[in-house]
Structures are given as C-alpha cells and as structure tokens.
Structure 1
Amino acid sequence: MHGTLPASPQKGPNRASFLPLVLRLAFRELRGGLRGFAIFLACIALGVAAIAGVSSLSRSLTDGITREGRRILGGDMAFSLLQREANEAERAFLSQKGQVSTIANLRAMAVAGEKGSALVELKAVDVSYPAIGQLETDPPLTSADLFFERSGFFGAAADPTLLARLDLKVGDRITIGVAKVELRASLISEPDKIASGIGFGPRLIVSQDALRASGLIQPGSLVRWTYRLMLPPALSSEEALDAIEAEANRVLPEAGWNVRNRVNADARFARNIERFTQFLTLVGLTALLVGGVGVANAVRGFVDRKRASIATLKSLGAPGGQVVRLYLTQVMLIAAIGVGIGLVVGAALPFVVTGLFGHLLPIPIQPTLAWSELGIASLYGFLTALVFALGPLGRAHDVPVSGLFRDQIDPERRWPRRRYAVALIISVAALVALSVVAAYDQKIALMFVGAAAVSFALLRVVASGIMALARRLPRPRRTAPRLALANIHRPGALTPSLVLSLGLGITLLVTLAMIDGNLTRELKQTLPKNAPSFFFLDIPSAQADAFEGFLRTEAASAQVERVPMMRGRLVTLRGLPVSQIKANEDVSWVLEGDRGITYAKTQPEGSRLLQGSWWAEDYKGKPLVSFDDKIAEGLGLKLGDEVMVNVLGRNITATITNLRRVEWRSLGINFVMVFSPNTFAGAPHTHLATVTFPGGSDAATDARILRKSALAYPMVTSVRVKDALDAVNDLVSQLITAIRGASAIALIASLLVLAGALAAGHRARLYDAVVLKTLGATRARLLSAYALEYGLLGAATALFGLIAGTAAASLIVTRVMNLSFTLDLSGALTASILAVLVAVGLGLMGTWRILSQKPAQYLRNL
C-alpha cells in the first residue's frame, strides 16, 4: 500500500542555529579538543598573567598608600624644613589651620661605651606621637613610660638591629651626643616608617627633650623638622589641601619648606612603584612577544593539520575568506581561554601576596580587582594572538582543493593576500600604540618596541643567512652530517622557528648576565683605590679645626679633607619655578627636596672645568655658582643663567659662571652646586670631612677611629663608607633578585616557544623518519643527524645571542644606568651553552618519540 511517511514531530528551534555559520562551525570543530594548542595556551596565559599580576599588584600598592596616606604621613599635611625649626610666623600659620604635631629626623651616633658605637637614624617625637596609628614595641609601653626622663635618663625604642649590632638588650644604656638614654623597648613597627625613607642605620626613637639635651642641635646641623597638620573635616578635601599649600607658599614665600599631603604621602615611593611596574610590565610584554612566536608555530601547525578540511570546505563551495574567518574565530576563542587563565592568575596575585606576606611588608597594600589594568592585560593578550595568527591563517585562504590529493612534501609557500597584510599592519600598530600609551615612560616604551622589532628582523635575517649558507656548503660524504645540513635549508625546515625562539631566549639570558655582572662589579669590585674610608658629618664650625687636628693625629697616614656644608633647595631656574621645569628623568632628583651645597675659594679636587672660569679667591661681587655640566644639561641650564636656592629660610639668587665635570665615582667630597664664598657670609653651617687611607684601611683601624671620635666628639656623625656601600649592596641585591625572578617569566616563554617550534615540525619529522627507516637508516644514525642539526643551529644562534645581548646590555648599563661597561663573557657564555644544550635536549627528546613509531601504519596512508 502506497502512502506517505508521517511527518516527524517539529522540534523547537536549535539555539545554535541563531549563531552565525562561522561561529557554529568553529564551536563544532572545537568539540574535538585543543590538541596542538597547549603551547599556544601556555604562552598567552603566561604573558597575560605577568602583565595582569604586576599591574594589579602595583594598583593595590598605590591604593594602599592613598588609603593609608594619613597614617603614613602622620596627618593630612606635612611641612618639612631642613637645618632649622619653624619660626613664630610659620608656626602661627600652621596652628590657624589645625592641630600640629612635630617630629625631627637626623643621623647620629649611638655610643655604648666599650661595646662600641653605631650610626643610627634618630627620630625625635613630641608628646602626641603617634597622632594616627600605633607605635608597637616589645614590651608594649605608653608614650610616658617609653620616652620621659627618669633618674637622669631619657627613654628610647630601638630597632632590634641596633641591639644586635652593639650586643645590647632592653634596659641597657647608651649616649646620644651628651644625653644619657635608656633602651626601654625594642621597636616592632612605627606607623609612619615609609615617610621617613630608607636610612643607612637602624631606627632609634627618642623624645624631643632628649634631642635638645643631646647637644646635636647646632647651627647648620642636618636636622629635618616636620610639622604635621591635622585638619578639621571641613578643610580635609583634596581641593582644600591644594588651597592650603598655595596659601602657605604665597604668605610665606621664603619658608623653603617641602609640602606633602595625604594624597601624595610618599610621591617618590609611588613613582618608584610605577617605574618598577613599567619594567615588570615590559618583562611580561617580552614574554608575550616571545610567546607570540609559539602562537605562530601553533597556528601554522594547526593550519597544516587542517589542510584536508580546508580543501574539503572549498570543494563544497566555501570561499577562502570564510575559511579564514572560521579558523581565525577558533584561534581567538582558544586565545580567550588563555587570556582568561592569565587574568584569573594575575587578578589573584595581590590577594595571594597579602595573605602570605602582608604581615611582613612595611608597605600598606590594599588588594583589589583592578578592572582597567586587567582590561589592558587582556588587550595585550588578544592583540598578540591576532598579530601572530594572521600570517599563517592568511595563507590558508589560498590552500588549493587539490591539497586533498597532492603529496605534502613541498607545500606551496606564498605571502597572504593584501587584505590580511593590511589587517596584520593594523594589529601591529594597535599593539605598539597600546604599549606606548599604557606605559609610565613613553620614551622607554618606544625604545622597547624598537628593540623588539629590530630583534625579530635580525633573527629572521640570521635564519635566512644560515639556510643560504647551508645550501651553498659542499655536501659531506658521511650520512649524518649530510642529512643534518640538508635539514637546515630544506623546504619546511625548522630553522626560522628555532632561530627565532632560541635567539630571543639566549639574547635575554646574555643581557641579564651582562647587566648582573656589571652591577656586581660596580658595587663590589670597582671601589676606587683612593675612595674615602669615612665621612664625618655635622662637625660644628666652632670645633671644625680641633676635629680636623684630632683626625690628623688618629689617622696620621691618611689624607684628611674638610669643607663647609649646608643644605639648600632649588626654587627657580631661569626665573621659572622648579614645578614648571621638565627635567630629564636621570637628573630630576636634583629638583626633589634639599641638596647638599658648599662654597669654595678654589676649584674642588675631583672635578675639571669645562666652560667658563673660576672666581677670584677674594671675589666680593654678586653671588656666583658652579654647576655640574651633566646636571646643567639635563636641566637646560647654561652659562649666565640665574638659579634661586632657599637656604635656612632665605631665597638667594646666583648666576652660573662655570660648568665642571665631576668624577662622582671617586666618592670624594663634591657637590652639584658650589657657590662663591661671599654668597653665605655669616650663615650658620657645619662642616663635612673625609679620611682617605692610601691603599685602604683595616677593620681594627676603622673601629678605633669610630670609637675615639664618638667619645671625643659625640655631636659628630661618623659614616663608614664600607658600611654604607654594604647597605646599598643589600638593596641592589634584592632588586637584582627580583629582576631575575621576573625575567624568568620571559625565559620560560622562550622554552615553551622552543618546545612548540619542535612540536610544529613533528609531522615533517615523522614523514622523514618513516621513509628513512624504510630505506634502512638506523635509529642511532638518525639521532646523530638530528643532534648535529640542532647543535649547529644552536651554536649559530648562540653567537648571535652573545653579540646582540652584549650590545643591549652595554646600552642599558651606559645609557640607562650611567655606569661604565666591562666586557665579561664568563656568565654569558655559560648561559649560552646551557641554552644550546637545552635546545638539543628538547629536540632529541621529540625526535626519540618520533623514531619510536612503527613505519607500517604510516606507509599505508602515504
């Protein structure tokens, strides 16, 4: 019986049918998993995680500083003066605005009798300290019990480092100047520690009564007085803070104070965070760019695996543009997974750091989800994936239908069509623009972009050169060398990918090794033979001659040098306020805060005149000043320009009469600004002295001089140069360790890319192995050929890495760090050899797996 089939029941509309065809096909193909994209995902996730983590942690730190600004500063505003206390008019102005508290900071010598003496960072506080936050000591004491005088002894809280250095314990007694001090507690934490900066000695906190009793406050002594202002709620807005600062400068123009508020409680620290963040961001971007090569390799291998599918789609009528859109969609979806992984890791970093180390950090940290920073990191990830995927995918447009039936020994190679080239150029421009716009220092970002472009171009040239050379070399008679040479230049060779990934890694390794070696040499091995052993600060003018005589007696074989010293702050340059001066980054520190200044009849030693002439010894005219030539150049100053400095609350204008080159590395006495003697006639000041032993001094001599000077002249602060350098070395060593750890991210990316490049050649290697084993080649012979191939490529690439890394390190050391560069290849050679061994090892590991395959199952499909 004829009839019709019953109609099947109608199903509801498929949700996927509402998606565009390209997206539906992309999701359908992705059901098969992400085989071949492990390196792709790791490279994208690693770079994005580095950028997102660093920027999120930086944001958390800056937010913490902003949130805790009042506690760090000790008030809403802080007005600092050097070498003098505020006068009545200045105190009256501050008192009208709110509640005022005072602290004083200076360096001093803590003398513990026969146990010796030590340099301390002395903080003298008033009865209201701390106005905000809590001072933590062991044992916990009230301010009255901790600081007030009892039985002729003032109280103090001491850093545990001081107790250990002088073999002291709580309850022991020391002298500061001529004041007797009892150590009543060990210092655990102080709420305003960051605002005090980094010192050369341990902290000792005393009362201001103890400071005045010590005799350390002399005319010209280097005491920084800070007046902290607590404002009523009505005057605590950011606009009110700016208005009070403007009013203070207008009403008291010659006060010469440095003003900070809770919004910029530690501007220098915040800038340093931003600078270090930029460096670490560039490291993360380096990891992304290096990983981009892995992305390109993965996409190239993906397209190669999909050649049959592409040809099938085209044979069914799919245009080339639709095929490219299909696989570009798949690649970007996979990139989104990598970006997502990186964002999760990066966003979690501030919370992890706070949870694990928050109680150990002296820096307030406010973990937060920094959405804008995470957005920028994701843009970096997507743009990197797009830039490195467009080339391989663009070439997929022209995969012929005959690819279904043609052998794949020598696939056709061609440039992608113009539309894809234009899209690639736009993507590269967007990545460059993002790198520059998002950077703290656009100049450094542009240098990085230029260096990256040059590196990629040079490595491509090196790869082409190696292939051309291998093509022209005579063919060896032995099988293994002949096969290795042919593998280097044959169609589909791994040479470009291996040279690019290995070259970037070796260049980075060599650069870091060279910078590390030069920093270590500068800090530990190149101390000038005639460098001073001691600096003596705050020598009272009335005792300067006697103290110099004491030094010449105690250090008879040494050279003693003494000069007058004051502190001054630049107010205007060429009539412009320093706030309007756009100085070069490497000299901007001269405009920040107070600088050491002096006067001299004759040109100081350790400097040579470049422009102008020195004033006569009996000069009596208007004030003149000599400037360091490099500093003057960075500030845009020249002969005849006028500068105004504020010294002890007075503004003094002087004319630049000469420029001189100063040898700062000698560590001798010298100053950025040296004034004519008549400039500061009658101004109170102290003296600075150095003691230099020919050929250096021994520890016993140093200890003797320190002990005797502390006992005979307790008001004089002694700084042993070796101790100061050790403190700097510790800080720099920590910085280098952080840099090494951060740079390891880029190195890991290089290894991933190298592994990806080898994996991308798996199919071609597999075909070779099957054919050669069928023809009788043994596993040992093939392994030796591949080892020789990887070794030759590694050696050639290592040579390029040595040259490029040395050049990059030289530029960074001389231009950025302003240090001398010494060529020392020991560390760089070790790093290069290790990198080559790793490359050969990874290559042979992959090759061994290929050689383990049975030929039969592959021969059936040839």
Structure 2
Amino acid sequence: MSVTSSSVTTSDEARAGARAPGAGRGGFSLALALRFALRELRGGLRGFGVFLACLALGVAAIAGVGSFSRALTDGLERQGTTLLGGDAAFTLVQRQATPEEMQLFTGAGRVSTIATLRAMARAGEGAGLNATLAEVKAVDGAYPLTGTLALDPPLPAAQALAETEGRFGAVLDPVLAERLGLKIGDDLQLGAARLRVAALISGEPDLLATGLGFGPRLLISLDALKASELIQPGSLARWHYRVQLNAPARLAPFLDEVKAKAPQAGFEVRTREAAAPRLEDNVRRFTQYLTLVGLTALLVGGVGVANAVKSHLDAKRGVIATFKSLGAPGRMIFAIYVLEVVLIALIGLLIGLVAGTLLPFALNAAFGHLLPLPIEPSVQPAALALAAGYGLLIALAFALWPLGLAHDVPVSALFREWDEGAPSRPRKIYIALTLLAILALGALAVAASEERRIALYYLGASAAVLVTLRLVATGIMAIARRLPRPRSTGARLALANIHRPAALTPTVVLSLGLGLTLLVTLSLIDRSLTRELTARLPDQAPSFFFLDIQSTETQQFSDFLAKQAPGGDVEIVPMLRGRLIRLGDRPVETITPPAEFAWVLSSDRGITYSAQVPEGSTLTEGEWWPENYSGNPLVSLEKEIADAFGLKIGDSVTVNVLGRPITARIANLRKVEWERLAINFVMVFSPNSFRGAPHTSLATLAFPNGAGDATERAISRAVASSYPGITAVRVKEALAEIGVLVANLLLAIRAASLVTLVASILVLAGALAAGQHHRVYDAVILKTLGATRARLLLAYALEYAALGLATALVAVLAGSIAAYAVTVGVMKIGFAFSLPAALGAVGAALLLTVAFGLIGIWWALGQKPARILRSL
C-alpha cells in the first residue's frame, strides 16, 4: 500500500470535517471544502504553470484590445471638434455652396471653406521634370477653426500660405518634398500656379476628417488653387464647409434647419460626435476580430486547462482516495477541487487583467507620437469585465469534465497506481454543468459582439474545428491501431504509443492544430492577395488612369496619348459624381444597408453614361437602351448591389448630381468584372440623363504587351508637362500603395494571431509535461527489461514526429479550405496555394513536438526506478 504524505496530513481534518456541525448531510460543507482547497494551495501552484499562462495570455489579449479600442474611440469622441475642424462639416462634390447655403452656415457661427482634390505636383523642367500625385488641400484664412497646424519651421498658417513676389506659399508633407527633391524655398508647379515651399507639415489637426489618399499632402490657399486653374466645370473637387457654432449646444437644431431649408443640396454631413465614422467603424471591426483572436487563444488554452486539471487530479488520486476512505462524499471532493481551480483561475485572470490594463498606456507611450490618432488610455471596466468573464467561463468549461471524474475516484486507488474501474465520463450533473458553462460562454460572445452574425459564425466554426480535430485524433489512433506492426522495436513502440490508452494524440492534435490552422489560413490569404495585386496585372490592368480631362480637350488628349504611346489602347468615358438620395420610395437615411455594402450609401459615387454596354460588364437581366434613346432617364445597376438593396428592374433610384436630383428607372442589371481594373461604374445612365451637365472625362491607357517602368515614367512626365491640369495615376504605384497597406494590415493580424500560436505551444508543452507521469512509468519498465536510452529516445522521437506530421497535414488542409472560403467566397478574388506556408507549418509542428517531447523524455529517463517499481 502506498499512501502519500498529503493523505496522512489531511486525514485528521477529513475525519473532523465528516463530523463538523456545519457539515450537513453526508459530511459536505462548502466552508470546509474551501479550507481544504486553501490548504492544498499552500504547497504552491506546481503543475498549473500552463493553466495560468494560457488564461493570463488570452485574458490580457482581450482586455488589452478592448481597452485600447475604447481609448481610441474615447479620444475620437472627446476631440471630435478638433478632428473635424468644427462642430459640423458639410461636403459637396463638383460644386460650391450657393450664397443661400452659405448664409445658413454663417448665420450659425464661424465658417471655414476647404477644397480637396488630386493633382500632379511638378518640380524641374524638361528632361529633369519630376511629377508625382499629390492630395491637394486648399484652405481659407479662417483655417483651422480649432486645433493647430504644426509646421517646420514654425509659422502661422496665413504667413506660410501668403503670396510673395508672385509666388504663393505652400506647405508640404515631408514625403512629397522627398519625392520631388524639394527643400524650403524651392519652387514647384501646380497646374498653372507657381508655388514656393514655405514649410513642411509636422501636424495636421483635421487629417482624419479630410481623409487620407493615394498621394502625400500639398496644402495651399484658396487663392493659389484659383491661380492653378485646376477648378473647371465638372472638376472632381470636394468642397468642405466647417462650422464652429456660436451655441455648440444647438447642434441638432442647426442640422435640422439646414436640412429643412436646403433639402436638395446633397450635403454629406458629419458632426463632432462622429468626426471619423469610417475610422470608428474600422476600429470596431478590427477590435472584434482581435477579440475573437484572443478568444481563440483562450479556447486553445482551455485544452491546457483540462490537461492541467487532469494531471493535478492524477497526482492527487491517493489524497482523494484517503478522503473517501474517511467518509467524504463525492460532491465534497468535487467542491474542494473546483474551488482550487476557481482560485487558481482568479490568479490567472488578475495577471491578464493587469497586463491588459497596462497595454494601452504602453502602446501610447511607445507609438503614440507616430500615430495620427487621439489615444486617451484609461482603465476600462467594461473591457476588463468582458475579458474576465471569458476567462472564467473558459476555465470552467474545460475543467468541469475532469473535475467531475474526481467524484467517482475509488478507494482502491490507494492500493495501486492504475485503476481499471475508473469511469471514462463524469455523472450527468457534471456533464450538464459543462454544457451550461459552454452555453454561457457562447451567449457572452454573441451579446458582446456588435455584429452578432459574425459571432455566431465564429462559435459554429470553433465548435466544428474542435470537433473535427478531436475526430481527426480519433482517426489517427484508429489507423495506428490497424497498421501492421513494424519489425523495428522502436517503430513498433512508437506506433503503439500513438493509440494506447492515455495517448498524447488527442492533446497534440487539439492544441497545436488550431494555432497552425490559423497561421496557414493567414499565410494563404496573404499569398492570394499578393498574387491578385501583382501577378495578374500585365494581362488585365491598364498602366494609367487619367482624371479631370475637360470635355473640350478629350479628342486632343486622346491624340496626344496615341502619339506618346504608340500601340497603347486608350479608353475615354465621361465621369460625374453623384450621391444616392432615394432607392425606390425609400430615402437612404431610412435604409440600414448590409455591412459589406454600406459604402454605396456613405458618400458620393462615380457615375457615367453610355450608349453601349461598357467593356468588362455583362448583362444578366433586362435590355440595354437604344443608341439614340430620348425618353425618361434610365440606369443600369450592378447586380450584386441591386440584390443587396432589394432592387429590381422597373424600380427607381434618385441621385443628386451638382445639386440637382435625377430620378432614373432601372432598365437592366450587370455583372461587372472589377478585377480587370478597367473603367466601370456601379451606375451607368442613359446618355440623355445628363444632357448639358458639366463634366470631365476619365481615361485609361493600357499596353497589350505591357510597358516598362522607363516608358511609363516618360509618359507621366509628358502628360504633366503638356497637360498640367490632368491628373495621371500610375496603376503600379497606386497598387503598390495599396499593397503596403494590405501588407501592414496582414502583418498586424498575423502578429495578433501569434497569441493563438503561443497559447498552442504552451498547451503542447503542458500536455507533454502532463504525460510525464506515464512516460516515467514506461521508461522505468522498459529500461528494467533491457531497453537502452538510445533506443527509447528513437522510439519516442518517431512517435512525436508522426504526431507532429499528422497535425501539420491536418492544419495545412484545414487552413487551405478556410483561406479558399475567405478569398473566393468573401474577397471575391482567386485562391493561390503557397508551398512555403505549408512546409513552414509542417516544419514548425515537427520541431515543436519532437523538441518538447524529447526534452521531457530525457528527464524521464533519468528518474530512479525504485519509486516506480514499488507502486506496481
């Protein structure tokens, strides 16, 4: 008989507890259970390192992400007036506000007028001409109404932008100065205007409200913009009117007054309460994603929780049997150890919450000066409570099952190391409690999510993945059981270890499989996006887009391109900007669009007219109008968008163009091949819809056999020199900018997802450590029977390599399926498999499993056999 010292130590208290006055029926007392739990914890938390690390890591991730997101949104809300440049902002496209509209603004407070457009900034002349796309921002003398424009060297905005000696002042983004090779005092050209570099921009207070573009900022005065002659009828300029109210509290009545007195103006309206709505929406979406990543890490960590609890209970079998032999009921045993788990979980939660609370402060201190975002870190009780709730429910969901098994540990466990009569599943009450914890976890995830559909998908996918991985592990064990036995002793032992009772197969597949699957998915999405942005360009994409071509010079410019780029294909179409104001009989303000199509209603859209079906479009329903159609306005709508808003042929849409509402009937629906990057629009109108309306044209230049970089740069210089009012956008440069943004986003996502991989590694290490008890037992018996250290190491290395390889193959397959679903089903792009990503997953799995496994086995082989042999 082998009785541990812990059994002897606790026997007196157990006997006393059975007869304690408050023990209740069967000797059960919650207070006494707590006393025993605290007594056992005095010995330290050995064996619970992975438990604590997984909980702390997942909780810290969720708490940190939630706290940082709240710090950012709080900053956006509190500094809304500065970020917006006023209490309210009204934006028009292609036209300025009328005197009557301006009177509405000036009657309520101070007003600042700003114009924004894209244009080519030029420096040098002749062969030395250097031109690049710039985001031009022209301001009046009142700018900025709030905040400070920070310049280097420090100058007042009015002084920096003033005209001196026939040159208007300009302030530049340092990136623009670098691209053009300019320094303070140098000259540059914008359209017909000659400008002088007065300073560089080091801080733009309303950057988020004005928006980021494809080019760096060039800030000038409205007088300089007029001198540039870039503003022509139909030019794609946006006019912003910032209003700082005399009575800020009267914001809502002021907005109602503007809406009532200028109902057809077509204003895009923003207020200090939502200065950067798109940014806030993106922050919320990214926060939700990162929260789900943290929850995934916790789910992976849940496997580690279950392993730690099971290992702890295995080590306490003698103690539990002693309790039972002295009369303690099974529910008393359950209560003691569930209280232990809760107390240990609270320690992990506390560590994670402290780390999550400090994360926004640390990020702000390290990177706050680099980000154009108003971050105001503070303690966020709601985010911390959510993280704590997730952590506690995960701990209970994964711990209740093995804790329930402790209820029925037989007294015979005192007399032997293994007991064949132990149950494989707990009683129904503990199964019910486990299911209740899982349901509570799911309910919390859905309730806390702003997009509950995504949360439900995530929960369904997580459950499916966990079940699938468990079935895969069972399948691997079944296959190993049926394979013919190898002649080699080491290989035969490795194969038997994969499917034997208490095998590590389910734990390794579960813990490592989920993390590797996530990384493979992200790697393949990255590969598919890169291929979409680069590999397909030579065959499908034009080399240039040309904007702001005046209708009077369309043919002349087409002839110019034919001369400069012989063999190139030129396509020119008319282009206007319009804002949807009604869909059928529904004003857009009353429509809640699907999240993926909210952009259709959020701002103005590019529109055109055509007598023929545009290239790259295919009619799916209805018929195109006759070439000389002269009836009521008709419109062709992109089918996917029409379906999203429930529109069909015969319905009407109303668009505000240049302050004039135009209602058109839907004549047909089109499928558009957006990936061609050719000229295409969501809405194409019949030509008679805009007869007499001022507009510009949009052109593309494509080379069937591709064009070299030198050729494209020469064409860009020629256009900038001969047509300074036309904006040339090189597709390669624009896609390179997008590629950088996508790469940075994927890098951030991948870095965040490493939390899940770290949790997987911790769980794997914990699982292998938890299996050390069995490995020591095996090693001692085999060494006693004559096995050498080298042969045992080979056998276990083969076992771990087989498990790692099987897990990696599952992860590659599952990750490929997930990446295919995201790229083809969600992003609507082609899927590209990456062999390096697959090989990386295989290599990582093999390295981790074999390395961790052999480290543990080396320790097991060094144990003295006497203690193990005495318990046989």
TM-score (structure 2 length as normaliser)? 0.95
| Aligned amino acid, residue 188 of structure 1 | S
- 3-state SS of the aligned residue for 1:529? helix
Measured in 1, the distance between the counterparts of 2:629 and 2:860 equals: 87
Aligned-partner residue type, residue 161 of structure 1: V
**Secondary structure, aligned partner of 1:748:** helix
**Partner of residue 76, structure 2:** 65
| Structure 1: distance between partners of 2:51 and 2:178 | 53
Kept in 1: contact 2:807–2:845 (CA 8 A): no
Deviation for aligned residue 1:310: 1.1
2:58 to 25, 47, 63: 47
Distance 1:814 1:568 in 2: 31
Deviation at 1:168, TM superposition (A): 1.2
Contact 2:118 2:133 in 1 (8 A): yes
Pairing partner for 2:197 from 183, 188, 192: 183
CA deviations on 1:438-485 (whole Å, 9 max, x unpaired) are 113212111111111011111111111122222222323321122112
List aligned pairs for 1:842-853, cutoff 5 A.
842-853=852-863
Q: Which moved more, 1:311-320 or 1:67-76?
A: 311-320
Is 1:455 the counterpart of 2:465 in the alignment? yes
* Mapping for residues 347-366 of structure 1, pairs under 5 Å: 347-366=357-376
Q: Equivalent residue for 2:545?
A: 535
The correspondence for 1:337, drawn from 337, 343, 347, is 347
3-state SS of the aligned residue for 1:225? strand
Aligned to 1:6: none
1:526 paired residue number: 536
In structure 2, which of residues 157, 168, 181 is the aligned counterpart of residue 154 of structure 1? 168
Distance in 2 (CA, whole Å) between partners of 1:765 and 1:578 is 67
Contact 2:805/2:845 (CA < 8 Å) preserved in 1? no
Q: CA deviation at 1:818?
A: 2.3
Aligned equivalent of 2:794: 784
Q: Is the 8 A contact 2:318 2:413 kept in 1?
A: yes
8 Å CA contact 2:812–2:841 kept in 1: the answer is no
Once the two structures are TM-superposed, the CA of residue 244 in structure 1 deviates from its matched residue by 2.4
> In the alignment, is the contact (CA less than 8 A) between 1:506 and 1:832 conserved in 2?
no
Partner residue, 2:779: 769
Counterpart in 1 of 2:6? none
Q: Does 1:582 align with 2:592?
A: yes
| Cα-to-partner distance string for 1:784-839 (whole Å, 9 max, x where unaligned) | 11111112222222222221111111111122222221233332222222212211
Q: 1:753-788 CA distances to partner (integer Å, 9 max, x unpaired)?
A: 111110111111111111111111111111111111
> Can you list the C-alpha shifts for 1:193-218, whole angstroms capped at 9, x where unaligned?
11122211110100000001111111
Equivalence for 2:210: 196
Pairwise CA distance, 1:579: 2.5
1:136 aligned onto 2:133 = no
1:96 aligned to 92, 107, 110, which one? 107
How far has the Cα of 1:409 moved from its partner? 6.3
Query: In the TM superposition, what whole-angstrom CA distance separates every residue of 1:502-538 from its partner, at most 9, and x where no partner exists?
Result: 2223222321221121122112222251411111101
SS at match of 1:168: coil
Residue 482 of structure 1 corresponds to: 492
* Structure 2: distance between partners of 1:148 and 1:516: 47
Work out which of the residue numbers 824, 840, 846 in structure 2 matches 1:830.
840
- Do the aligned partners of 2:408 and 2:422 also contact (CA within 8 Å) in 1? no
Task: Give the structure 2 partner of residue 688 of structure 1.
Answer: 698
Structure 1 residues 450 and 201, CA, compared in 2 at 3 Å: closer, same or farther? same
Percentage identity across paired residues of the two chains? 56
- Counterpart Cα distance in 2 of 1:791 and 1:707: 60
Q: State the alpha-carbon separation in 2 of the partners of residues 314 and 853 from structure 1.
A: 31
Equivalent position of 1:278 in the other structure: 288
**Offset, 1:241:** 2.5
Aligned to 2:225: 211
| Larger deviation, residues 387-396 vs 434-443 | 434-443
Contact 2:408 2:423 in 1 (8 A): no
Matching of residue 796 in structure 1 with residue 806 in structure 2:
yes
Does the 8 A contact of 1:410 with 1:491 survive in 2?
Answer: no
Moved more, 619-628 or 706-715: 706-715
Partner of 2:138: 124
Gaps of 5+ in 1: 1-15
Residue aligned with 2:219, SS: strand
Match among 75, 79, 98 for residue 90 of structure 2: 79
Are 1:530 and 1:696, in contact at CA under 8 Å, matched by a contact in 2? no
Cα separation, 2, equivalents of 1:68 and 1:620: 52
Contact 2:538 2:706 in 1 (8 A): no
Aligned 1:427-576 pairs, distance under 5 A: 427-576=437-586
Q: Which residue of 2 aligns with 1:383?
A: 393
Preserved CA contact (<8 Å) 1:102 1:227: yes
Cα distance in 2 for partners of 1:143, 1:512 equals 45
| Mapped pair 1:818 → 2:832 | no
Q: Distance in 2 between matches of 1:135 and 1:832?
A: 53
Q: More displaced, 812-821 or 635-644?
A: 812-821
1:170 maps to: 184
SS in 2 for 1:669: coil
Alignment of 1:236-385 (within 5 A): 236-237=248-249, 240-385=250-395
Name the SS for the 1:175 alignment partner: strand
Distance 2:512 2:166 in 1: 71
Residue 143 of structure 2 aligns to which amino acid in structure 1? Y
What letter is aligned with 1:112?
A
C-alpha displacement at 1:410, in angstroms? 4.4
- Show the counterpart of 1:111: 122
Return the match for 1:628 from 638, 642, 660.
638
The answer to whether the Cα contact below 8 Å between 1:307 and 1:403 also exists between their aligned partners in 2 is yes
Measured after TM superposition, the shift of residue 259 of structure 1 is 0.4
Tell me the TM-score normalized by structure 1.
0.96
**Equivalent residue letter for 2:90:** F
SS state at 2:196 partner: strand
Displacement of 1:411 after TM fit?
6.0
- Alignment-mate amino acid for residue 142 of structure 1: P
What's the secondary structure of 2:596's corresponding residue?
coil
Supply the AA of the counterpart residue of 1:608.
T
> How many angstroms apart in 2 are the aligned matches of 1:142 and 1:277?
38
1:67 Cα deviation from its structure 2 partner: 1.1
Mapped partners of 2:447, 2:825: distance in 1: 23
Alpha-carbon distance in structure 1 between the residues aligned to 2:319 and 2:229: 89
Deviations 1:677-704 (A, max 9, x none): 1111111111111111122212222222
Distance 1:33 1:580 in 2: 61
CA contact (8 A) 1:410 1:492 kept: no
Q: CA deviation at 1:583?
A: 2.3
Q: Tell me the CA shift for residue 51 of structure 1.
A: 0.5
How much does 1:275 deviate? 0.6
C-alpha contact (below 8 Å) 2:116/2:137 kept by paired residues: yes
What is the distance in 2 between the residues matched to 1:514 and 1:713?
A: 43
Alignment of 1:740-779 (within 5 A): 740-779=750-789
* Distance in structure 1 (CA, Å) of the matches to 2:308 and 2:106: 69
CA distance in 1, matches of 2:862, 2:815: 38
The answer on whether the counterparts of 2:89 and 2:271 sit within 8 Å (CA) in structure 1 is: yes
